[in-house]
Amino acid sequence: MHTPSAATTHRAFAALLRDLRTEGGSDQRTLANDGVRAWLRALADQQLGDAWRRRHLGEGPSAQVALCPPTPGDVQATYAHLIGLEGANDDAGDIVLRPRPFARQQAGAYYTPPALIDLLLDQAGVGPATRALIDPACGAGAFLLAAAERMPVERLYGIDIDPLAVACTRVALALKCQQSGVAPPDLTQRIVCADALLDDDAWARLTPAGGFDAIVGNPPWERAKLQQVEWLAARDPAFHGLDSAGRKKRLAQLAATGSPLWHAFATERQRRADYAATLRARYPHTCASDANLYAGFAALAADRLPPDGHAALLVPSGIATDRRTSGFVRRLAATGRLASFLDFENRGRARSGGAHRFFPEVDSRFRFACLTLSGQEKAGQRTRLAFALGDPGDLAAERPLALSRRALATLNPATGGLPMPRSRQDAALALRLHRRWPPLVDRRCDAPCPTFPVRYRRMFDLTNDAHRFQPWSDADPDAWPLYEGKMVQAFDHRAASIEIHPGNLKRPAQPRRTSDAEHADPTFRPTPRFAVPGDQMRWPEGLHWAIGLKHVTSPSNARTVIAAAVPRCAAANSLPLLLPAAEDDETLAAYRRAAPLLLANLNAQVLDWLARGKLQGQNLNLYILEQLPVIPPHAYTSETAATVRHELKLLCHTSHDLDGFAHDLGHPGPPVDWSPERRARARSRLDALYARLYSLTRNQCSQITNHFHVRC
């Protein structure tokens, strides 16, 4: 039967809510949830019988409107339409539906396309011989319905924390059995409402003899910590467009007046904090610090898997590279239990004009993966890897890589997280470069061994230090400008000023690109958002510049590692600095000699290519930066070092505020005239120079260059 459209479902649901209000079956607070329950009860009563409905769904208001044809898929589609709605009264007192902002984001609920469901079931080996399968975050039951095509329903189990989702799953599975000519089964002991991460009693009740030899699902991609922006903006329009300082001020006002919103916020924040603490205690290897639920589910699957089982979960690809989870991944790889890691771009094939995003409500650049784990009896010597897939069908055209445990450890020497090469050729080249050149900081020794005399420093946090900042327009005469990552580009510390767009919910501060005319003025400086009073600043005495790095980036950008020489300034956490390792005269002198070479190396195309093989999220974190192989200072001849410094003069010294940098380069004098064409040639010469320093062949250069293109 034809799946109802969202508009049709919404009209029918609004009519159902009006009926319930007339009957007195719902109040304003529970209107939408009672409507979903009434719809499920009515559908079950009509299709599965009164006795089944009472046992599985209980009593309560029923609806005359079915809302959708009685097929399992239609039940799921309708539930997906309804989860993001809430009922309300308009000015005339009539029932209307309106979107419930951030409903799915806050629940971590993103419904999985059928092709991805089939892929996970294939990876877990689900078929007639599967002993028992469980989805520990089953939602509306998509994975269980698909698994029912491969194995008997009585071997399927599910857990979800949302009682409406559990009810929906039971109804859909019962309808599927009925369509096959089987009496609707009793699912109350197999599809249960519980928190799978923490409820041991639920697992004890469900687990059959021999355990679950298949664990599959798409767990919530949600942080345990309360996401203040979404939570507050959904309940108070005054929070729209506020930065962190503005939110703090608004919350302080609400607290001072004893607002119910403040009490609700404080209660929810504490509840989520307590929950996060419990997760950290239960899953210390994956949920330390800022706990993500999907990481907890990955650890849960690894713990619950019997020796002969397989687990396949859909998780953000960052689980392979994030420092918080790298130890977990490293142990799985080292013991052969990491069977495969198949990475996808959310844009799907949209990049070539094909299908739309897999998950429409998630950023197109987001990466997620099918993570497959094995029990001890199924452990192997190699891990199958595939990256940047646009469709599950791509796996048939290009067989995944199979890397040994030793190769995996070489490519990420400090964290042991997974590398991200896109082909066998890429993996071979990355291994060669990692074996020949040292990482920026080698942590395989008893004490960290830095290749350059630098230390990584985050000066000010835009959220936690907001009380220290002054608006730039009202800054004290001795205040320092607060540089942010969005203000710089490669070799350009004057790339953008910051403008405020109050209508933006999450990012009201946006960059305004510096024009060529502004760049041509050697006295021009970009306009920051904030300033920091001089008495709160500390900068190495006698140093007039430092290396700044954009923290927020992406492997799909034109360049991923973006570094610039910045003048003396305050720097936000979005622009961490590489400062001298110490402040004695000898270390400062070594910094002035060596740091320019590191700046050029960081912006080199070959190093950027290596970084793309490690970064899956959108943050160039320190642990990623430290593992990049760099050309050490002693490997430069005097002629090569002089060439690098000459090109840096052309690229960086375009304004008077970097006169000190030019002096340390050995090229004092007036700033260089701004010329985009000359800058492009200088960058190309540096890319070619570093290709020679890394000893790349012509074919290897082409292999790397082919990765660099901007995707929309």
- The bridge status of strand 382-389 relative to strand 401-404 is antiparallel
285 falls within a domain = no
547 and 676 housed in the same domain: yes
For residue 608, give every residue at least 6 positions away whose Cβ sits within 8 Å of its Cβ, in sequence order, or none: 559, 560, 561, 708
DSSP assignment of 177-201, as one string?
A: HHHTT-PPP--TTTEEES-TTT-HH
344 falls within a domain = yes
Q: What are phi and psi of 669, to 5 degrees?
A: 125, -175
Task: Give the Cα separation of 205 and 490 in Å (integer).
Answer: 58
22 and 86 housed in the same domain: yes
Which pLDDT band, with edges at 50, 70 and 90, does 103 fall under? low
Query: What pLDDT, on a 0 to 100 scale, did the predictor assign at position 1?
Result: 38
38 and 144 housed in the same domain: no
256 and 371 housed in the same domain: no
User: Which of 387-391, 430-434, 657-661 comes out lowest in average pLDDT?
Assistant: 387-391
Q: For 76-102, what is each residue's pLDDT tens digit?
A: 778 877 777 776 667 776 767 777 666
348 falls within a domain = yes
The last residue of a domain, from among 47, 69, 100: 100
Query: What pLDDT, on a 0 to 100 scale, did the predictor assign at position 712?
Result: 32
Structural tokens at position 464: 């936690």
Mean pLDDT across the chain:
88
- Is the pLDDT score of 306 beyond 70? yes
Which pLDDT band, with edges at 50, 70 and 90, does 711 fall under? very low
CATH label of the domain that carries residue 387: 3.40.50.150
Query: What pLDDT, on a 0 to 100 scale, did the predictor assign at position 3?
Result: 53
Alpha-carbon Rg for the chain, nearest whole angstrom, is 28
For residue 180, give every residue at least 6 positions away whose Cβ sits within 8 Å of its Cβ, in sequence order, or none: none
The last residue of a domain, from among 406, 438, 457: 406
User: Which of 15-29, 354-368, 383-397, 506-520 comes out lowest in average pLDDT?
Assistant: 15-29
444 falls within a domain = no
421 falls within a domain = no
- CA distances (Å), 647 to each of 660, 666, 677, in order? 16, 12, 14
Query: What pLDDT, on a 0 to 100 scale, did the predictor assign at position 434?
Result: 94
Which residues of 405-526 form beta strands (DSSP E)? 441-442, 449-450, 454-457, 470-471, 480-483, 496-500, 509-513
User: Which of 277-291, 508-522, 601-615 comes out lowest in average pLDDT?
Assistant: 277-291
Q: For 628-655, what is each residue's pLDDT tens digit?
A: 999 999 999 999 999 999 999 999 999 9
28 and 66 housed in the same domain: yes
User: Which of 195-199, 254-258, 520-524 comes out lowest in average pLDDT?
Assistant: 254-258
397 and 305 housed in the same domain: yes
- The bridge status of strand 570-571 relative to strand 563-567 is unpaired
- Is the pLDDT score of 41 beyond 70? yes
389 and 310 housed in the same domain: yes
Task: Give the Cα separation of 84 and 13 in Å (integer).
Answer: 13
Give the mean pLDDT of 523-533: 96
Task: Give the Cα separation of 460 and 91 in Å (integer).
Answer: 47
The alpha carbon of 110 is separated from its chain's Cα centroid by a whole number of angstroms, namely 14
Query: What pLDDT, on a 0 to 100 scale, did the predictor assign at position 243?
Result: 75
Task: Give the Cα separation of 173 and 188 in Å (integer).
Answer: 12
214 and 148 housed in the same domain: yes
133 and 45 housed in the same domain: no
Query: What letter would DSSP give residue 658?
Result: G
217 and 235 housed in the same domain: no
For residue 63, give its domain range.
6-100
Residue from 81, 57, 71, 46 nearest 170 by CA? 57
Residue from 612, 563, 579 nearest 452 by CA? 579
Long-range pairs for 32-37: beta carbons < 8 A, 24 or more residues apart: 32/82, 32/85, 32/86, 32/87, 32/100, 33/164, 34/60, 34/61, 35/63, 35/82, 35/87, 36/79, 36/82, 36/164, 37/61, 37/164, 37/167
Task: Give the Cα separation of 697 and 687 in Å (integer).
Answer: 13
Task: Give the Cα separation of 652 and 566 in Å (integer).
Answer: 9
644 and 697 housed in the same domain: yes
Task: Give the Cα separation of 286 and 665 in Å (integer).
Answer: 45
Which pLDDT band, with edges at 50, 70 and 90, does 110 fall under? low
Query: What pLDDT, on a 0 to 100 scale, did the predictor assign at position 447?
Result: 87
Q: For 466-502, what is each residue's pLDDT tens digit?
A: 999 999 999 999 999 999 999 999 999 999 999 988 7
Q: For 385-414, what is each residue's pLDDT tens digit?
A: 888 888 898 888 767 888 888 888 888 887
507 falls within a domain = yes
The alpha carbon of 428 is separated from its chain's Cα centroid by a whole number of angstroms, namely 27
218 and 344 housed in the same domain: yes
Task: Give the Cα separation of 56 and 49 in Å (integer).
Answer: 11
Task: Give the Cα separation of 354 and 685 in Å (integer).
Answer: 37
The last residue of a domain, from among 379, 406, 433: 406
The alpha carbon of 284 is separated from its chain's Cα centroid by a whole number of angstroms, namely 20
User: The sheet that has 480-483: what strands, in order across it?
Assistant: 470-471, 530-532, 480-483, 570-571
Q: With the CA atoms of 525, 531, 534 and 537 taken in that order, what torsion angle do they form, in degrees rounded to the nearest 10?
A: -90
95 falls within a domain = yes
43 falls within a domain = yes
Query: What is the count of structural domains for the chain?
Result: 4
Token pair 């510390």: residue = 493
More confident residue, 502 or 29: 502
Task: Give the Cα separation of 265 and 101 in Å (integer).
Answer: 16
